[in-house]
Amino acid sequence: MDAYKKAGVDINAGYKLVDDIKNLSKNSALGSFGGLFPLELGTYQNPVLVSGTDGVGTKLLIAIKANLHKTIGIDLVAMCVNDVLAQGAKPLFFLDYLGVGHLDNDKAKDIVSGVVEGVSQAQAKLVGGETAEMPDMYTDGHYDLAGFAVGIADKAKLLSAKNLREGDVLLGLASNGLHSNGFSLVRDILFKQHDYSLDETLPGCELDLKHELLRPTKIYVKSVLPLIDKGKITAIAHITGGGLPENVARILPDNLSAEFNYGSWKVPAIMENLQRIGQLSFDDLKHTFNLGLGMVVAVHPDVAEDVKAELEKSGETVYRVGKLVSGHQEVIIRKDQQ
């Protein structure tokens, strides 16, 4: 083991991290060759497992630059479980992958503590993961983070485009800022084209840049899942890379389009600043960022106000942002409705 340590890999540090993760997650079974999850089918008539995998992207470079790692794990879980939720499934368990050049136990513990917090917010269980120490692969304190989530749904209750109708209402659930998309452009505007400090606060923003950019992605499971179970939500779009145009289009049937009334919801100040500083067109803005909506749910008109009220009661900020119209899977964002 001394030879391996001289080559840059500290096995004992890895063992210590596994013990720390066991304590953080309160799961003593971690560290086995495979993660176990007891599958209680309960009332599921025709159960379907729904899986999702994702990473955090170059938002990691902001965390590294700021040396703040406690929330990046929440982003990781959110990106996966929100996708699973968008299919109409309940997240069950999660696994993470952390690749590092040199294992810094304190930093790794901060990262995984965020994963544990995210899994808790998703009402799921962390059943395993992998920490890979790879000298020369990652340098200067860099690391990579990826995750994998599995959920369950009744096949008949999976959310489907076939259930959408013309006139259905689109409700937008507020995001927590940038979430985990567009950071290559963010970094280019703020730190390459310009020389902003992470300690600066941009106009209209409550937090300095290091905390503003690292706001963790919202996890919508607790507020949205009960409404899926009640059959009140018809379809969900998780607004990630590609913004509203690409992600909302994914839920539309061939004969419908989505029409948004821009100005009916609040766009975060950080995005308005990025548009101004980077001289971005509205087209760039809407295809790169979530515009302040982390999730869009489609509901039939007769339950729209009830769903909105229930989501608000659960702590969400909800806007009535548009409707479905006859069309061909287009996403139209009308700015003339302000």
What is the per-residue DSSP string for 227-269? Answer: HHHTT---EEEE--TTHHHHHHHTT--TTEEEEEETTSSPPPH
| Distance (Å, whole) CA 62 – CA 69 | 10
Spacing of C-alpha 243 from chain mean position: 13
- The domain tally of the chain equals 2
The pLDDT score that the predictor gives to residue 338 is 41
Residue 257, domain CATH: 3.90.650.10
The pLDDT score that the predictor gives to residue 283 is 96
Domain end: 124, 157, 190, which one?
A: 157
The pLDDT score that the predictor gives to residue 335 is 84
Same-domain status, 186 and 78:
no
Residue carrying structure tokens 């069950």: 92
Same-domain status, 318 and 285:
yes
Give the CA distances from residue 108 to residues 70, 94, 176, 179, 247, in Å, rounded to whole numbers and listed in that order: 9, 17, 24, 21, 32
Percent residues over pLDDT 90 in the chain: 84
Same-domain status, 151 and 261:
no
The pLDDT score that the predictor gives to residue 31 is 64
Cα within 13 Å of Cα(86), Cβ side: 25
Residue 35, domain CATH: 3.30.1330.10
The pLDDT score that the predictor gives to residue 22 is 61
Domain that holds residue 311: 161-334
**Tens-digit pLDDT profile for the chain (338 aa)?**
564 454 454 545 555 655 666 666 566 566 667 778 778 887 888 999 999 999 999 999 999 999 999 999 999 999 999 999 999 999 999 999 999 999 999 999 999 999 999 999 999 999 999 999 999 899 889 999 999 999 999 999 999 999 999 999 999 999 999 999 999 999 999 999 999 999 999 999 999 999 999 999 999 999 999 999 999 999 999 999 999 999 999 999 999 999 999 999 999 999 999 999 999 999 999 999 999 999 999 999 999 999 999 999 999 999 999 999 999 999 999 986 44
Same-domain status, 107 and 175:
no
Determine the 3-state secondary structure of 185 from DSSP: helix
Same-domain status, 175 and 316:
yes
| Distance (Å, whole) CA 176 – CA 107 | 24
Same-domain status, 68 and 48:
yes
Same-domain status, 7 and 138:
yes
Domain end: 157, 173, 194, which one?
A: 157
Same-domain status, 192 and 266:
yes
Same-domain status, 133 and 165:
no
Same-domain status, 179 and 40:
no
Domain end: 157, 176, 201, which one?
A: 157
The pLDDT score that the predictor gives to residue 34 is 78
The pLDDT score that the predictor gives to residue 273 is 98
The pLDDT score that the predictor gives to residue 41 is 81
Nearest to 287 by CA among 276, 296, 299, 275: 275
The pLDDT score that the predictor gives to residue 7 is 43
The pLDDT score that the predictor gives to residue 4 is 45
Same-domain status, 208 and 266:
yes
What the block records as the tokens of 209 is 């840049």
Same-domain status, 65 and 187:
no
